[in-house]
Amino acid sequence: MSAEFDQLVAEFQRFEAGIRDADERFAGLDGMRQELTGLRATAASPDGGVTVVTGPGGAVLDVTFTDAALAKGPQALSAALMATLREAVGAAARRQAVIVQEHVGDDGLVEQVLETQAEAFGTSVEELRSKLAEETAPPIAAPEDFSEDRVLRKADAPDPPAAPPASGGSAGDSFLRNLFEEED
């Protein structure tokens, strides 16, 4: 009977561990969803005349043209737009793969995306890997600007409350002063 009970306890502990693991994965998936929702990738043509912003799944969020790009004519504009679109959509897909891999743990996902893109874009995996490293590198922090700081507190700190009036004051103050003076 004791062996059966020990076996039931062990099974229950495995079940609890599975539930904890599922809870942790779901918590991570919510974080992944938030990161994917905020995903943005921007690409510009070599001359800067065309800029494309994409979001999750490569959705095109914005396309801008400079006057110089519009003056190049329809063929050149079309070619620049398509190349810039491919770059922005590719960057979004690479970033999306990194986010999913970080949260789900599929170690081969980013490599699969890089290999597929290298074949589709006619480039090398190494070149795409270096682009990915540039795209996902943390931004360099700007040195802290102290020009708006005051000596003892930040400039955006609320001002201290005003001091009460030194003399005079409200009718209530006068009443209380008179009340205490009459008692003496």
**Beta partners for 63?**
52
DSSP states of 110-150 as a string?
HHHHHHHHHHHHT--HHHHHHHHHHHHSPPPPPPPP-TT--
pTM of structure = 0.58
Per domain, the residue ranges of the chain are: 38-136
Instruction: Give the architecture-level CATH label for domain 38-136.
Output: 2-Layer Sandwich (3.30)
pLDDT digits (tens, 9 = 90+) for 80-123: 999 999 999 999 999 998 888 887 777 788 888 888 888 888 88
What is the DSSP secondary structure assignment for residue 56, as one 8-state letter? Answer: G
Nearest alpha carbon to residue 37 among 52, 10, 21, 57 = 57
Edge-to-edge strand order for the sheet containing 41-44? 41-44, 50-54, 60-65
d(CA 40, CA 93): 10
pLDDT in tens, 120-174: 888 888 888 888 888 776 655 556 666 666 665 566 666 666 666 556 567 777 7
